[in-house]
Structure 1
Amino acid sequence: MSKANQTRQFIIEKTAPIFNKKGFAATSLSDITEATGLTKGSIYGNFENKDEVAIAVFKYNADRLWKKKENWITVYSDARSQLMALVDFYRKNWKELFESGGCPVMNAATESDDIMPAMKERVKNTVDSWVRNVANILEKGIKENVFRSNINTVEYARLFIMTIEGGVLLSKISDKPDSLYLALDRVNKIIDDEIII
């Protein structure tokens, strides 16, 4: 990794928690320079503007979250266990997720919807990727003959993500996992009643 790439990565890693907790609009250049110990010139020598930093930070935060989920899921080889592990990930890791400011994808989606079109596109691509990943688990389960063959894998993947993210949102607001647990219980029920053979 070149020196310039190392500096960019340093800026991203140091500011990632700040952006996720404060939001993109509320994170100032002073926050970035304070977190990194770099000058304004150093920041803008590596990024065109704050929006470019924000998009890089979002990608970093979203990739880190998915990697944690992926590591949790891929411990298992069969689709049924992988799908249950996805739900279990949120049940076991909600506290860490909340302490880091919540789900970076939901945070970015909410904040960027009308004011940052480039961020909105990045968030959309990330959500589409999450949907594909969950749909792939469902398709694998169909091939393994443990999930019903007539399910619409993309629709169920979207439903699971919407339900879980809604649970994260309501629980984050109340600082209690109750709503998230309710959402996860509902996803488990859907899996048991509508997906597993």
Structure 2
Amino acid sequence: MTKAEKTKEFIIAKAAPLFNKKGYAGTSMSDIMKATGLAKGGLYGNFESKDEIAALAFEYSYNQLKEDIGAKVRAKKTGVDKLLTIFQYYKNYTVSPPVDGGCPLMNTAIDADDAYPFLKKKARAALQEMLGSLQHILKKGIEEGSFRKDLNVKKEAELIFAQIEGGIMMAKVLDEVTVLNRLLDNLKYRMEEEYMKLP
């Protein structure tokens, strides 16, 4: 890695928590300068704009989350154990998030909406990847004979993801992590009572 590449990586690592906590509008170039200790010329010497930094900062935070949960899920062999690992991973998520500032996908999706199309595009790609991973796990459970063959994997993946993300949002707004944990328990119950009822 060249010196320039190391500097870019350093800037993104410092900027990522700022964008994840404060959003695009709430994060100024001055904030990034303060976090990195670099002058404005040092930032613009490595990046064309704040937009570029924000896009790469999202990728950095999202990849942190993806690698953290991915390592735990890959360590499990069966579809059932992989799904249970996901439910366990998000327990108490709002109290001790693995990524500084909480879920980067939810934060960026809400922040971007229609105001920042370049960020919305990044969030959409991440969402599709997450849903695809859930569908893959559900299909694995079906192939192994653990889940019903008639399970609609697309619909269930959407439901799982929506409940987890909705639970994170509710727990954060209410300052009550038990809301999220109850929803995760409900998902586990649904898996045991609905997915595993074999014909």
Which residue number corresponds to residue 181 of structure 1? 181
- CA deviations 1:44-96 (Å, max 9, x no partner) are 11111111111100011011111111122122111111111100001154422
Report the Cα distance in structure 2 between the residues aligned to 1:111 and 1:69, rounded to whole angstroms: 23
- Amino acid in structure 2 at the alignment position of 1:180: L
Does the alignment pair 1:100 with 2:113?
Answer: no
Question: Contact 1:29/1:40 (CA < 8 Å) preserved in 2?
Answer: yes
Paired residues, what number? 197
Which residue number corresponds to residue 192 of structure 1? 192
Structure 2 residue ranges without an equivalent (≥5): none
Which residue number corresponds to residue 29 of structure 1? 29
Question: Contact 1:167/1:179 (CA < 8 Å) preserved in 2?
Answer: yes
Question: Contact 1:102/1:172 (CA < 8 Å) preserved in 2?
Answer: no
Matches within 5 A, 1:80-99: 80-91=80-91, 93-97=93-97
Matches within 5 A, 1:1-197: 1-91=1-91, 93-97=93-97, 100-196=100-196, 197=198
The offset of 1:106, in angstroms, is: 0.4
Structure 1 residue ranges without an equivalent (≥5): none
SS at match of 1:91: coil
SS at match of 2:54: helix
The offset of 1:174, in angstroms, is: 2.0
- Amino acid in structure 2 at the alignment position of 1:142: I
The offset of 1:193, in angstroms, is: 1.9
The offset of 1:39, in angstroms, is: 1.1
Report the Cα distance in structure 2 between the residues aligned to 1:76 and 1:131, rounded to whole angstroms: 19
Report the Cα distance in structure 2 between the residues aligned to 1:55 and 1:175, rounded to whole angstroms: 29
Report the Cα distance in structure 2 between the residues aligned to 1:18 and 1:111, rounded to whole angstroms: 13
- Amino acid in structure 2 at the alignment position of 1:186: N
- CA deviations 1:19-53 (Å, max 9, x no partner) are 11111110111110010011111111111111111
SS at match of 1:25: helix
- CA deviations 1:122-145 (Å, max 9, x no partner) are 100000000011111111111111
Q: Percent identity?
A: 37
Question: Contact 2:160/2:187 (CA < 8 Å) preserved in 1?
Answer: yes
Using structure 2 for the length normalisation, give the TM-score: 0.94
Question: Contact 1:98/1:172 (CA < 8 Å) preserved in 2?
Answer: no
RMSD (CA atoms): 1.4
